[in-house]
Amino acid sequence: MNEHTVKELMETVKNFCEARDWDQFHNPKDLAIGISTEANELLDIFRFKSEEEMKQFFTDHKKREHIEEELADTLFFVLRFAQMNHIDLGAILEKKIQKNGEKYPVEKIKGKNLKYNEI
């Protein structure tokens, strides 16, 4: 299995886009739209599907490949957004996890799917 760092992935996306002269099209608004659009294409795959149907998607090669492609498209836009706007994804994720840890303390939320204001 090939594992890449976030930095390596961002560099791959940067090189791909710069080779095509796409910087001019990748402003924050359009990249945010891309994130949303691709995430919704992933979501659409699962719309109106039962638990069993969704489980089967991951054993069907063609359906799994479609899911993976939509997930990759979403990741592409997230990486490009971060790269174009000088955002350290690792740092912001760590910061957000820490904040969520305070909002969702283990001793109060473990095994529950409540919002922080419902605890």
Dump pLDDT digits (tens) for 9-37.
999 999 999 999 999 999 999 999 999 99
Residue 24 sits in the same domain as residue 81: yes
pLDDT of residue 2: 81
pTM exceeds 0.85 = yes
6 with 30, same domain: the answer is yes
Which pLDDT score is estimated for 1?
A: 66
**Do residues 78 and 99 both lie within one domain?**
no
Domain interval for residue 16: 1-87
Query: How many domains are contained in the chain?
Result: 2
Burial class (CB in 10 A: 0-12, 13-18, 19+), 81: buried
- Among candidate residues 59, 75, 57, 52, the one with its CA nearest the CA of residue 67: 57
> Distance (Å, rounded) from C-alpha 111 to C-alpha 108?
9
My answer on whether 81 and 109 are in the same domain is no
- Predicted confidence at residue 46, as pLDDT, reads 98
Residue 90 scores a pLDDT above 80: yes
